[in-house]
């Protein structure tokens, strides 16, 4: 079999971008999938510049058509998709009592339904080749909850349930399905938080530092490797000890 191919949603920046570069360095062909077309191209160019292999997709996880079409394009161009990293995610924070239904729906659609649709699209190919890895990017708030994040924490907790069910359904085909629950990681998404909120979060991290996208990407690299072949249905917390 030619080299393995990793399909990464939300790969245009943040954790997704770092994961794309990290897995490329580990020898994977990369599918950079996100709706941020220009950023996708920048990530792909960076991968190619360091000798890697990448294709880009203008990819919308809220659209079943876009997901189906994108995955089949990737399979057509690359021959197979062996690894799926469901990383696409957004936050629309607000107290539950005042939360707009549209903010609830959008977060659920991207963070949870998107991961479901992408998994559904790649699984037939993985089942055929009897090898596959799915990694869902959950969150510490999916485990512990968080004020002002009813939609986000519910979507991330939902990913944990999805992970465990898919792991059970797919185990006999040699496909592992795991989740990573990042803590407070330095990305565009957390950059917008007010300074006092950042200070408060940092105070709750026993290791005393903010996580880097590399911390998550390296955990993903392990879970998709041969070395992790006996791990499935697991939620790996990468959070500096902020929740145990």
The pTM of this model reads: 0.97
For residue 223, being part of any structural domain is answered with: yes
Question: What is the band of 1 on the pLDDT scale with cuts at 50, 70, 90?
Answer: very low
Domain with 184, as residue range(s), is 5-237
Residue 182 in domain: yes
- Whether 242 maps to a domain, the answer reads no
Asked if the model's pLDDT at residue 241 lies above 50, the reply is yes
Residue 61: CA atoms inside 13 Å, Cβ hemisphere, count?
Answer: 30
Whole-number Å distance between alpha carbons of 81 and 28:
10
Q: What is the dihedral of CA 242, 149, 180, 73, to 10 degrees?
A: -160
pLDDT for the residue numbered 2: 59
Residue-level pLDDT at 189:
80
Which has more confidence, 84 or 1?
84
Tens digit of each residue's pLDDT (9 = 90 or more) over 55-94:
999 999 999 999 999 999 999 999 999 999 999 999 999 9
**Residue 46 to residue 76: CA distance in whole angstroms:** 23
**Average pLDDT rounded to a whole number, residues 153-174:** 98
CB 176 within 8 A of CB 133: yes
Helix, strand, coil percentages for the chain (3-state, nearest 5): 50, 15, 30
Report yes or no on 221 lying in a domain: yes
Question: pLDDT at residue 37 above 90?
Answer: yes
Mean pLDDT of the chain: 97
| Res 192: pLDDT | 85
Is residue 244 one of the residues assigned to a domain? no
Residue 10 inside a domain? The answer is: yes
Contacts of residue 221, defined as CB under 8 A and 6 or more positions apart, other chains included, come to: 19, 22, 23, 26
Taking the C-alpha atoms of residue 153 and residue 231, their distance in angstroms, rounded to an integer, is 24
What count of residues does the chain have? Answer: 244
First-to-last C-alpha distance (Å) of the chain: 40
Residue 152: which residues within 8 A CB-CB, separation 6 or more?
91, 92, 93, 107, 111, 139, 141, 146
CA nearest neighbour of 88 among 64, 65, 68, 111: 111
CATH number of the domain bearing residue 210: 3.40.50.720
* Residues labelled catalytic: 152
Asked whether 91 and 10 are in contact (CB, 8 A), the reply is: no
Position 243 in a domain: no
Q: What is the pLDDT of residue 190?
A: 84
Share of the chain above pLDDT 90, in %: 94
Please state which of the ranges 31-35, 108-112, 128-132, 194-198 shows the lowest mean pLDDT: 194-198
Tally of domains in the chain: 1
* Confidence band for 133, pLDDT divided at 50, 70 and 90: very high
Looking at the chain, the whole-number percentage of residues with pLDDT higher than 70 is 99
The stretch 25-53 carries a mean pLDDT of 98
In this prediction, residue 85 carries a pLDDT of 99
Phi, psi at 239, each rounded to 5°: -140, 15
What is the pLDDT at residue 97? 98
- Rounded Cα distance between 103 and 80, Å, is 35
């Amino acid at each position: 079999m030619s080299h393995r191919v990793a399909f990464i949603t939300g790969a245009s920046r943040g954790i997704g971008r770092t994961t794309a570069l990290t897995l490329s360095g580990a020898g994977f062909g990369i599918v950079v999938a996100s709706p941020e077309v220009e950023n996708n191209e920048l990530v792909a160019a960076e991968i190619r510049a360091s000798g890697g292999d990448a294709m880009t997709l203008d990819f919308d996880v809220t659209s079943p058509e876009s997901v189906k079409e994108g995955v089949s394009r990737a399979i057509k161009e690359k021959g197979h998709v062996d690894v799926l990293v469901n990383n696409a995610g957004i936050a629309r924070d607000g107290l539950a009592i005042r939360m707009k239904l549209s903010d609830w729906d959008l977060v659920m659609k991207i963070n949870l339904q998107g991961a479901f649709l992408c998994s559904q699209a790649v699984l037939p190919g993985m089942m055929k080749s009897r090898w596959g890895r799915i990694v869902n990017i959950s969150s510490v708030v999916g485990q512990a909850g968080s004020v002002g994040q009813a939609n986000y924490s519910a979507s991330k907790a939902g990913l944990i349930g999805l992970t465990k069910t898919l792991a059970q359904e797919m185990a006999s085909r040699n496909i592992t399905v795991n989740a990573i629950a990042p803590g407070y990681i330095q990305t565009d998404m957390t950059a917008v938080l007010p300074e006092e909120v950042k200070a408060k979060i940092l105070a709750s991290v026993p290791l005393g530092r903010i996580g880097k996208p590399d911390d998550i990407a390296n955990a993903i690299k392990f879970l998709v490797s041969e070395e992790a072949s006996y791990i499935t249905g697991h939620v790996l917390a990468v959070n500096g000890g902020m929740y145990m």
